[in-house]
C-alpha cells in the first residue's frame, strides 16, 4: 500500500509559480497548487513506502531553488 502525504511548501517571494511547476515534475507528485495562507504551495504526493517518499521530499522537493522549508503531513486514513 502506498504512503501519501500533503506537503506544505514555503518559497522565496516571487518564486511560487516556478517552484510549483518544478515540484509537479517530481516523481510521485499527484498535484502541486499555489495557495493563500501561511504556505505558498500545497503538494499531494505518494510513494511505495515512507522511506521513498521521504527521500523524494528531501532530495527532490527541498533541493528546488527557492524552497525555504517544507512541512509534511502523512495521510493516516
- What pLDDT is stored for residue 23 in this prediction? 98
Read off the CATH number of the domain in which 68 is found. 3.30.70.920
Q: Could you tell me the pTM of the whole model?
A: 0.93
Contact in structure between 31 and 43 (CB atoms under 8 Å): yes
pLDDT digits (tens, 9 = 90+) for 48-73: 999 999 999 999 999 999 999 999 99
Span 10-44, pLDDT tens digits: 999 999 999 999 999 999 999 999 999 999 999 99
Q: Whole domain around residue 10: which residue ranges?
A: 3-74
Q: How many domains does the chain have?
A: 1
d(CA 30, CA 37): 21
Using CA atoms, how far residue 75 sits from 13, 44, 68, in Å, is 28, 10, 23
Going by DSSP bridges, is the β-strand pair 67-74/29-34 parallel, antiparallel, or unpaired?
A: unpaired
Residue 1's pLDDT is 76
Distance of alpha carbon 35 from alpha carbon 65, whole angstroms = 19
Amino acid at each position: 500500500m502506498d504512503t501519501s502525504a500533503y506537503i506544505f511548501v514555503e518559497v522565496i517571494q516571487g518564486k511560487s509559480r516556478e517552484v510549483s511547476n518544478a515540484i509537479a515534475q517530481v516523481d510521485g507528485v499527484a498535484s502541486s497548487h499555489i495557495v493563500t495562507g501561511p504556505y505558498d504551495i500545497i503538494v499531494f504526493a505518494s510513494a511505495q513506502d515512507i522511506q521513498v517518499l521521504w527521500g523524494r521530499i528531501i532530495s527532490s522537493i527541498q533541493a528546488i531553488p527557492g524552497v525555504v522549508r517544507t512541512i509534511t503531513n502523512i495521510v493516516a486514513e
